[in-house]
Structure 1
């Protein structure tokens, strides 16, 4: 009886040893296969990202920088440049510039016009209202925007938030992209606004 248990014990031992070896081989195979797959995918992914970055760097954009900068004009910048890069290309902000009126970190798009407003002694944007009485939606502060019919404090803040996030408006119709400004309200105020 005792011999029978010893043989069964050896069989169990051999079985466990063989099972452990098989498990190790299978695990090694899976890990190796994953490493091969990763080695194949990584260069393609890296190459794709590098290519996209390279394409953006090779692209040029033309922007018009106006308002309170030292050298207003049209400048050629690298793709992916920011508003601050355009301002620096134009010689930097002039002393009377309201540097907080625009999002200087926004990405510059081709054919954009960036207008840096001036601040007068009273702290009000000089560029907010044109001589014709039109409200410049790119430079007007909240109080000036609220002079438009149908634009209250919330909508005025929505306009400021939109241009801070997306950069200056490139056309009047873009105002309809602002939260809670639809076709009806746009038609109501379009004759009182400008860029």
Structure 2
């Protein structure tokens, strides 16, 4: 009885290749089964696109010559004109020349629509007509703001020099000597573009 018997040796490398092939076959089978289960009735595979992360609304405060004053939730990219429209639009006595409807809104903005009968910002304690950029303002420009004298102007400049640029008007609350009342008075006259 002379038969030929072959002996196969299984090497560790061969075991790894077999294991990899088995795992690959299982993954492919799983993907195919998932695609078949997700298929729509007409046989097409339905892929669900990821949804955009929820956008946090901007909250702005609108006062003055508008239909109804108050807090309003707005979307990113909305403009002052959109906030005024949400507040019921301008009233008949609104001073339209002092409304920058094209300016983009930021969270926490206070939009005050002046009435024609209200004095212009230039006639109240020497306040500037244009908004003052807190990141570039000089001592003199800050002193021209309502309620800001040499001491507070220097405190604002020192804060900016020590901690860097302002990223929001609300950061004025971090300046020694400026509280919520002063901030509310300054808000229509300052900006952080």
> TM-score under structure 1 normalisation?
0.43
Q: Which is richer in helix?
A: 1
> TM-score under structure 2 normalisation?
0.44
